[in-house]
Chain A
Amino acid sequence: MTHSKTEIHPYAKMYAEDAKAGKIDRREFLARTTALGVTATAAYGLIGAAAPAHAAGHAQQGGTIRMQMEVRALKDPRTYDWTQIAFFSHGWLEYLVEYNNDGSFAPMLLSSWEVNEDATVYTLNVRPGVKWNDGSDFTAADVARNIEGWCDKNVEGNSMAGRFAVLIDEATGTAVDGSIEVVDDLTVRLNLPASDITLIAGMADYPAAIVPADFDAENMTGNPVGTGPYLPESLEVGVKAVLVRNEGFEWWGYAENRGAFLDRIEYIDYGTDPSAWVAAAAADEVDMFYETVGDFVDVVEGIGWERSEVASAATIVIRPNQLAEVDGMQPYADKRVRQAIAMAVDNSVCLELGYANRGVVARNQHVGPMHPAWADVPGLPYDPEGALALLTEAGMADFEMEITSIDDDWRKNTTDAVAAQLRDAGFNIKRTIIPGSTFWNDWTKYPFSSTNWNHRPIDTQILGLAYRSGEAWNEAGFANAEFDTLLAEANSLADADERREVMAKLQGIMTDEGVTIQPYWRTVYRHAKPGIVGWDMHIAYLPQMYKVALAA
């Protein structure tokens, strides 16, 4: 290991003082410092704590795990839209950095990284000794090539371009010249035209899989070149996918005691109905779930399975689209209408009816206490009468709002709870439920609909993805110049305390504009049968199957 870090980022030391003084909690401290390039071990050291030991001592080498999961078709990793795809491909296509439940970023294919004070220069140190499974060396050139690929906006559906937007030249749609610099065989330097604090978090996300030079997205299983410990054995979309250990390949993680205990990982598709998953569990056809939802938490515990839970920033938004046209007008362009909607809904009711109280109430700001720079900004008051008055004032009291949702368990129920409360407040509501197979075709365009959003580690990330003007995923049709300016400012502040002041303004705009209803943060669950270790539910659903093992 070359943790050749002599200098610890000055902010990291400051955070350590904050953490010791109790100003920030441990998770925040870890998220902030590790994003600046401090190793998790060193970060724990700064606050006088020992890094948690790995469970390796209890793990058995070898064995098979069968996991219930939707099996989806592979495609270019940059265009991944489901973490389930990454659960299969991460067996051989690994990541530079991994994000962990305690909020820290741990090195994978990088050995360490440094970020300068205003977050404009990132120095990435490539882990030495890593090999592709075709025998060639993994070098800085591979890292640079992948980052260039992420910055290619011309690839249809490339969501990494959003995460690396700061590096992209608007005119060409590719990386700015000279921004990605290969210093030597093991060092890459990113020179950012503007500050951005989220790049490391972006590298840890599921579409950021590192692919080889002659990568062919059409033939991923036919020619599975990668750096990971597993190889794909079979892939039948919608049925089953199997990963097997790449025997004879010296994975870099073995020397580091990183795990990869299992010899074989089977993902079996039981459709989208959780009762089918429970039937599979009862019939002993699977050993663990991808995720357990809603009331099925209790059901599956009834058959003796163990629970893993983590409170995340995963959430649902039920948002009007400000640009959507209904009957020749834009009903939600008026701020008063949006505020009325937000005021007529009690978020705690949504949590209770929609998600059986398995979460924490939120304030429609899409930034929460689990984020480093969250500011304590109050939401709009719950006031159904005031809401109707506001709606009447806007002249929209007779307008029939159509609220669309996907046909599933919790998303449908939460949307139903919103619709019911709006009806109680005197709004004119129509509910539409669309099957999962077609719902996503127009998900950003529905005039008023619900969408689930995954956890993002840094507070500004989701605002950039979903609320910045003109973004592909801006489903609320929100465009606000002041918001965009403030967001750019927040993105240049590596220090969470300084950023919090800007975040307070951003969260204030989110509230005041009534951009969306974001009723609660979800606690996410996973269950497995007894006798398996290292299978904890991940806060951001990221695949880390190399940690899973049968108990010794």
Chain B
Amino acid sequence: MGLFILRRLGVMLLTALCLTFIVFWLTNLAPNLEKLAKTQGNARMSDEAVVSWLENRGYSQALPVKYGQWLGVLPGYVIEGADGEVRARCQIPGEPVEDAATFCGILQGDWGYSTVFKDEVGSIVGTRLGLTGKLMFWVMMVMVPGALIIGVLAGMREGSRTDRSLSTVSIVSTATPEYVSGVVFISVFATATFGMQWFKGTATSAMEDATFENFFLPVITIALYGMGYIARMTRASMTEVMTAQYIRTARLKGVSFPKIVLKHALRNALIAPFTVIMLQFPWLLNGVVIVETLFNYKGFGWVLVQAAGNNDIELLLGVSIVSVFVVLITQLISDIGYVFLNPRIRIS
């Protein structure tokens, strides 16, 4: 088991290294650097100004050198610009250039500096991840129990009226993308059109102080979409288990139906949905982009959009690293979780 986790961590590091290099290469393509210079300097800057802006700030160095500096294996640049000002990669804004450290990269725990937000990448990613975490937590709180209950209720008596109606509900909810359901919810529950102005159509204030009123709509919008899918998986797995030999044996022995479902069927039926639920984490992390934009909730998805839209190199790299780790860690947890749910599976 220990070796397995170690090996997984190794793969994780290697993946992160490869992915960040690809992101680094793409964001450092010449047109992207020009875009960066113009968004940071002046949107209406001349070509010569763009070149000198890039040179003064170390963007004109060779790609491997820049990547090495970002990793922290090469010393950060110190460049005397055409305008006579000395700039250093490791300089902390507001402090003299001479005090700058030699190395400042990921290895030194320095995630770099976001050009668009003018702040440390580490703290931006931390704050925004926290906000998305809050959203995800409530989504999971609503989605997972809801989906499992619907799935189990529908799956325990295949073909019954309960099964048919619950299945219809879950198919409808999973077939409605967030940008449709979100807009519908806003127009029904956040405007006076239908006389049901119960919630707020924006979640901006929920970043500081989440209440039922301002947080319910974004949570339910994401939750409904995932809920239908997980409920379908649970139902399929449940119906399969319910036809198994040992369930029939239990019924023939006269065990009561609720007891069969809860004690004998449930644990086996949960293996498949468990993987799906674990896969929802990475999906949520990036899938919230639409809902965060729609409800103006500034979390991780919003940062990703801003970083990509403004070619904010170091912030994009930070976002990529976090994404790699979230995906691989949730996979690891789901692999380990199998062992506990299904004793036949061994990891070695």
Contact = CB atoms under 8 A, between A and B. Distances in A.
Interface of A: 73-75, 79, 81, 154-159, 216, 218-219, 222-223, 235-239, 268, 270-271, 276, 279-280, 282-283, 285, 435, 437-438, 440-441, 443-444, 472-473
A181 B233 CA distance: 80
A442 B306 CA distance: 19
B93 interface: yes
Contact of B44 (A155, A285, A473): A473
Given A156-B41, A219-B94, A437 B309 contact: yes
Contact of A237 (B82, B118, B309): B118
Given A74-B118, A279-B190, A282-B201, A159 B42 contact: yes
A280 B34 CA distance: 35
A472 B44 contact: yes
Contact of B202 (A75, A154, A218, A280): A280
Given A156-B41, A282-B191, A443-B43, A270 B202 contact: yes
Given A81-B44, A238-B306, A472-B44, A440 B38 contact: yes
Interface of B: 34-35, 38-46, 49-50, 52-53, 82-83, 93-94, 116-119, 186, 190-191, 197, 200-202, 204-205, 207, 214, 293, 296, 298, 302, 306, 309-310
A7 B27 CA distance: 61
Nearest to A302: B192
8 contacts: A156-B42, A218-B93, A237-B119, A238-B116, A239-B298, A268-B204, A279-B296, A441-B34
Contact of A283 (B46, B190, B306): B190
A272 to B, nearest CB: 11
B93 A156 contact: no
A32 to B, nearest CB: 29
Nearest to B294: A276
A163 to B, nearest CB: 14
Contacts of B50: 156
B309 A283 contact: no
Contact of A157 (B34, B45, B296, B302): B45
B200 A283 contact: yes
Contacts of A81: 42-44
A298 to B, nearest CB: 14
A437 B296 contact: no
A79 B116 CA distance: 15
Interface centre among A73, A156, A285 (most CB of B within 10 A): A156
Question: Lowest 4 CB-CB distances: which A-B pairs, in order?
Answer: A157-B42, A437-B309, A279-B201, A219-B94
B194 to A, nearest CB: 14
Contacts of A435: 309
A157 B94 contact: no
Given A237-B119, A280-B204, A443-B44, 14 more contacts: A157-B41, A157-B42, A157-B45, A219-B93, A219-B94, A237-B116, A237-B117, A237-B118, A282-B190, A283-B201, A438-B309, A440-B44, A441-B39, A443-B43
B49 A283 contact: no
A406 to B, nearest CB: 12
Given A156-B53, A157-B45, A440-B43, A270 B83 contact: no
Contacts of A223: 94
Nearest to B114: A237
Contacts of A271: 293, 296
A435 B310 CA distance: 12
B311 to A, nearest CB: 9
A75 B43 CA distance: 12
Given A238-B117, A239-B298, A222 B42 contact: no
Contacts of B201: 279, 282-283
A348 B224 CA distance: 47
B215 to A, nearest CB: 12
B179 to A, nearest CB: 13
A75 B302 CA distance: 23
A157 B46 CA distance: 8
Contacts of A437: 309-310
Contacts of A270: 202, 204, 296
B84 to A, nearest CB: 9
B78 to A, nearest CB: 16
A279 B202 contact: yes
Nearest to A73: B118
Nearest to B95: A219
B185 to A, nearest CB: 12
A441 B204 contact: no
Nearest to A82: B43
A285 B43 CA distance: 31
Contact of A438 (B35, B42, B53, B205): B35
Contacts of A443: 43-44
A472 B45 CA distance: 7
A548 to B, nearest CB: 21
Contacts of A441: 34-35, 38-39, 43
